[in-house]
Amino acid sequence: MKIVLHGRKVVGGVVAGEAIVTKDTISGWGGINAQTGTVIERRHELVGQSFADKILVFPGAKGSSGWSLYFHQARLAGAAPRGMIFVKMTTKVALGAVVTRVPAVTDLDQDPLAVIATGDWVEIDADHGIVAVTKRPTGDDPPPADLAHQDHP
């Protein structure tokens, strides 16, 4: 099932990848390891997980203005997210998205934290403000149509 969200471009570009989602804001300074893209903030729900090469879906930034520096360093280390989707626009997260140089969107018509789950496949067309989400299969999903009607021994 594909869900399409519409929002506003922060940084242009088109990208697709696996989502990593958090309902916690992210701190750059002291919150991430810029060399690996791993969240290191001890009380964060993603502690120990890396956003490197994934679509990072999060509420926004917290902490000091050093936030953008850590995401810039993650880009230089090859550990940046592939794209960003965030809820709350601030100068901190906007600058972070710009220096990370990845497609980024905000102000979506549906709450991305409610629609997108970790592991979903997400396509961002930031130039047009479009996010397409393909839900990952779960154990509760029905079998594909071509298998549902076959006779099995």
Alpha helix locations (H) across the chain?
67-76, 91-100, 112-115, 145-148
For the chain, give the mean pLDDT: 89
**Model confidence band, residue 146 (pLDDT cutoffs 50, 70, 90):** very low
pLDDT at 141: 55
How do residues 9-63 score in pLDDT, each as one tens digit? 999 999 999 999 999 988 877 889 999 999 999 999 999 999 999 999 999 888 7
Secondary structure (3-state) at 118: coil
Check: CB of residue 133 under 8 Å from CB of residue 57. no
Q: What angle do CA 83, 5, 79 make, to 5 degrees?
A: 10
Task: Return the exposure string of 7-46: e unless at least 16 CB atoms fall within 10 Å of the residue's CB, then b.
Answer: bebbbeeebebebbbbebbbbbeebbebeebbbebeebeb
Domain ranges of the chain: 2-137
Rounded CA separation 74/64 (Å): 17
Report the predicted TM-score, pTM, of the whole model to 2 decimal places. Answer: 0.87
Average pLDDT over residues 140-151: 48
Q: Cβ contacts of residue 4 below 8 Å, gap of 6+?
A: 130, 131, 132, 133
Nearest to 39 by CA among 98, 86, 23: 23
Which residues carry out catalysis? 64
- Which superfamily does 2-137 belong to? Phosphohistidine domain (3.50.30.10)
Average pLDDT over residues 130-138: 92
